[in-house]
Amino acid sequence: MALLLLNNLILAFLLFFCIMAPKVSSHNRAYAAPSVARLTDLFGHVSVDQGFSTFFGGSNVKRINNGSMATLALDKSSGSGLVSRNKYYHGFFSAAIKLPSGLSSGVVLAFYLSNADSYPHNHDEIDIELLGHDKRNDWVLQTNIYANGGVSTGREEKFYFWFDPTAQHHYYSIIWNSHHIVFLVDNVPLREFPNTGAFSSVYPSKPMSVYVTIWDGSQWATHGGKYPVNYKYAPFVASLAEMEMAGCVLSNSASAPASCSKGSASSLDPVDGQQFTTLSKQQVAALDWSRRKLMFYSYCKDTTRFKVMPPECK
């Protein structure tokens, strides 16, 4: 009788734990990613000290490994962020990021390009936004693009991961040139936004800085604050490594990006070669895989938000 009672108590405890423990989604663990070219191997790494200044939350920014890496933290007092020392016109931008583990609802880690400081009323932006999940111990990835201040008509798409982004560093990358914008994770393309000329007013066209920030996005990212950041689990710490910023650097004394001039081979746009201006067959197949398997929201299917779909959706 005592043994039976003990077994019942153990079963009751396990059932209670399963009900009360944060649910971990399984949809981002089921797939093996397709093989693709490793574009992140083509450019050198830029140390955090070399390439970035503190944007905000100075005490929550920690430079480590002699400034080659950094951690960014969000706590009850502040988030934190870095901004590139240079502005770029086109380029390949990448960071190896390890996200905070544990209950992460409302936490937002953003790796993005923006020129809001120079063009406050008509700025451009290219965003990778890593969002702590609303209900589960999980993360999702959102991409967004807008130009000339069109925040209200942002072009968001959301994806699940096929790995645990809190277990180790993974590459998050952006290609931006006059041909297209491509978002990649571990070199796998998730989204391509071509510049066909048909909707040039919504294609980012002005030099931008590179930002990495962590902040409380409860009101924005969790249905108006339905699942706010739980600071009981703070600080939320993200790790950054292997930063890459290869682009045309804007001259401080000129309105045009001087390093993009055609004066010599070494001054050509570093992402103007064929492997950056078009996707290979292998990359096209990987793009199709990621959109079929991982994408769960696209603005082009949001008929509630858009009564008339943006032109590139047609």
Q: How far apart are the first and last CA of the chain?
A: 70
CB count in 10 Å sphere of residue 168: 10
Whether 125 is a known active-site residue: answer yes
Q: Which helix (H) or strand (E) holds 288?
A: helix 281-293
DSSP string computed for 257-282:
-GGG-SSSGGGS-TT-SHHHHS--HH
Residues 6+ apart with CB under 8 A from 233: 102, 103
Helix, strand, or coil here: 99? coil
On the 0-12 / 13-18 / 19+ scale of CB atoms within 10 A, 133 is: buried
Residue 100 preceded by cis peptide, ω within 30: no
Among 129, 157, 192, 244, the active-site one is 129
Distances (CA, A) of 102 to 23, 140, 208, 209: 11, 14, 33, 31
Q: Are 142 and 153 in contact (CB under 8 A)?
A: no
Whether 192 is a known active-site residue: answer no
**Helix boundaries (H) for 146-273:** 218-221
Q: Are 84 and 211 in contact (CB under 8 A)?
A: yes
Point out which residues pair with 96 in neighbouring strands: 171, 241
* Residue 282 φ then ψ, to 5°: -65, -40
Among 125, 157, 192, 244, the active-site one is 125
Catalytic site residues?
125, 129
